[in-house]
Structure formats: structure tokens, C-alpha cells
Amino acid sequence: MQTIVELPEYKKQVQKHLSKSDSELLINYLAEHPKAGDLMQGTGGIRKLRWAKSGVGKSGGVRVIYYFHSESMPLFLLSLFGKNEKANLSHSERNLLAKFTLKLVKNYGG
């Protein structure tokens, strides 16, 4: 099972959007399926996963932004937002996160 690290922005957003049980289901799912999300072009390997909230389905669910480099590094939960808030990350958000992932790889020696 893959190690998961919840970064501060993710923690802040997950409290707004998911129940504790939905959050635990998400983390367990990603620990078992770290490549489940779609790769986002131009981000250096960041993935976006569409996740359904209990009783709502994917259309009313959330988008989980995370980085998985390899099994030798943790999976990093970067951010989360409701589908109704925005469809995707902006170009500047993508660039910022891509730079951040380079630092993660450097620090973890992945």
C-alpha cells in the first residue's frame, strides 16, 4: 500500500468538502490505486481524480489533485475542489504545482 501525505492546502479543502468517512475512503483508494487519476498535461506528473461524495455521485463530487512519482516516494495530496467551484486548475496553478513537484522529487530523491 502506498504512503499518503496530506499537504496543508489539501487538508484545508478536504474539511470543507468531504466527510471524515469519505476522506478515509479516498485515502484508502489512492493508497491502493496511486495511478487512478488522469495525468494533467504540463504539470510534471500531477494527477486529477474525480471523486464522488456519498449520496451525490461524481457530477456533484470533488476533484482531487495529487502527485505520485513512484513507489519509493509518498503520494502527495496537493489540493481538492468541488466540481461546482471550478472545472480545472488555471495555467498559473499548474505551473506553480509543477515547480513544487520538482522540489518534492529532489528532497525525496525519487
Q: What is the pLDDT along the chain (110 residues), one digit of tens a residue?
A: 899 999 999 999 999 999 999 999 999 999 999 999 999 988 889 999 999 887 776 667 899 999 999 999 999 999 999 988 887 888 899 999 999 999 988 988 76
C-alpha 67/C-alpha 56 separation (Å) is 26
C-alpha 110/C-alpha 106 separation (Å) is 7
Q: Quickly list H helices, the chain.
A: 8-17, 20-32, 91-108
Domains identified in the chain and CATH numbers: 4-108 (3.30.2310.20)
Question: What is the dihedral sign for C-alpha 108, 12, 17, 19?
Answer: positive
